[in-house]
């Protein structure tokens, strides 16, 4: 009977052994990405437009540790510059770049003390898709951030620089002893001013032109004009109407025209009115 009672007592004590030994029950593993959503994994990466900042948030304790982005790089080999700024002074934010196969090719270092920004430079030799991962690396990290992936986009076509005409000799004029400056009077809207095309190139269906007249000649954004036919004369070139869309300085404005080709014509007439 005594042996039987001892066996029953031992069986009753087995479930209590962890408590009696002082070993706590092992807690469930904390998943820092449990609430990250689809973009918490690479297959759910959001499309990121290069040279366009995007704002989001990562937070380790809130179980939203990771954001994935995918960018499509075109053009020629160069440097992908990932810049990230965040709000929380006590936090660190990690940025990493992966290739199309998901292999890590660069990662930002641990931040300097007190810093709230990082820049990661990645050499890109082959065009295609690349992934960018933003994370709050430790349990003490979490913040709203703004990230931008800077990349030099390919140009549709290099600008065509027109040859400058030979300068026209000006007659020498004897200067008077005293020159009285007159106030600048705005020219009547019915007048026109002639300008020279400095550069021109096609962009889509439009001819983009830079002319050598600006604010000093009363040029304003929205003014219209015509490309002139030949090296002299006032006849407008067929289909050569244009519109000033930006005045850059005293002697520089940008215009857009639907004309297919300028040929050798490099003079324009600008109407001094909208």
Q: Is the pLDDT of residue 212 over 70?
A: yes
| Lookup: tokens for 43 | 């297959």
10 Å CB burial of residue 137 (0-12, 13-18, 19+) is middle
Looking at the DSSP assignment, which residues form a beta bridge with residue 58?
Answer: 143
pLDDT band at residue 58 using 50, 70 and 90 as cut-offs: very high
Q: Is the pLDDT of residue 189 over 50?
A: no
| Lookup: tokens for 48 | 């990121």
Q: Which residue has the higher pLDDT, 254 or 4?
A: 254
> Which element (helix H / strand E) includes 150?
strand 142-150
Residues in the chain: 274
Q: Is the pLDDT of residue 22 over 90?
A: no
Distances in Å between the Cα of 266 and the Cα atoms of 20, 37, 143, 160, 215 are 96, 57, 55, 12, 20
What was the pLDDT predicted at 158?
41
Which stretch of 101-105, 115-119, 156-160, 267-271 has the lowest confidence by average pLDDT?
156-160
Q: Which residue has the higher pLDDT, 163 or 247?
A: 247
Kindly report the pTM of this predicted structure.
0.49
225 and 272 in contact (C-beta within 8 Å)? no
Maximum mean pLDDT: which of 17-21, 63-67, 153-157:
63-67
pLDDT band at residue 188 using 50, 70 and 90 as cut-offs: very low
Q: What is the pLDDT of residues 80-97, one digit of tens each?
A: 999 999 999 999 999 999
Q: Quick one: average pLDDT of 170-180? A: 67
In this structure, the dihedral spanned by the alpha carbons of residues 36, 42, 43 and 45, taken in order and rounded to 10 degrees, is: 70
Structural domains in the chain plus CATH codes: 38-150 (2.60.120.380), 160-164+188-271 (2.40.10.340)
SS3 53: coil
């Amino acid at each position: 009977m005594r042996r039987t009672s001892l066996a029953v007592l031992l069986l009753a004590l087995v479930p209590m052994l962890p408590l009696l030994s002082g070993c706590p029950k092992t807690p469930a593993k904390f998943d820092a990405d449990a609430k990250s959503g689809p973009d918490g994994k690479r297959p759910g990466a959001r499309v990121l437009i290069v040279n366009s900042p995007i704002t989001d948030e990562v937070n380790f304790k809130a179980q939203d540790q990771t954001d994935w982005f995918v960018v499509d790089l075109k053009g020629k080999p160069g440097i992908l510059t990932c810049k990230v700024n965040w709000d929380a002074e006590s936090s660190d934010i990690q940025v990493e770049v992966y290739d199309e196969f998901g292999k890590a090719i660069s990662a930002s270092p641990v931040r300097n003390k007190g810093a709230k920004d990082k820049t990661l430079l990645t050499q890109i030799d082959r065009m295609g898709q690349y992934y960018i991962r933003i994370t709050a690396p430790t349990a003490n990290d979490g913040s709203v951030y703004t990230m931008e992936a800077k990349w030099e986009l390919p140009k549709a076509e290099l600008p065509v620089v027109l040859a400058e005409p030979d300068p026209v000799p000006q007659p020498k004029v004897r200067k008077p002893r005293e020159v009285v400056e007159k106030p600048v009077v705005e020219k009547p809207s019915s007048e026109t001013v002639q300008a020279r095309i400095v550069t021109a190139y096609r962009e889509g269906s439009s001819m983009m032109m830079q002319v050598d007249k600006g604010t000093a000649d009363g040029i304003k954004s929205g003014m219209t004009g015509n490309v002139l036919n030949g090296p002299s004369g006032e006849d407008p070139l067929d289909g050569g109407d244009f519109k000033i869309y930006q005045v850059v300085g005293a002697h520089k404005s940008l215009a857009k025209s639907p004309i297919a080709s300028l040929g050798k014509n490099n003079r324009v007439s600008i109407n001094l009115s909208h």
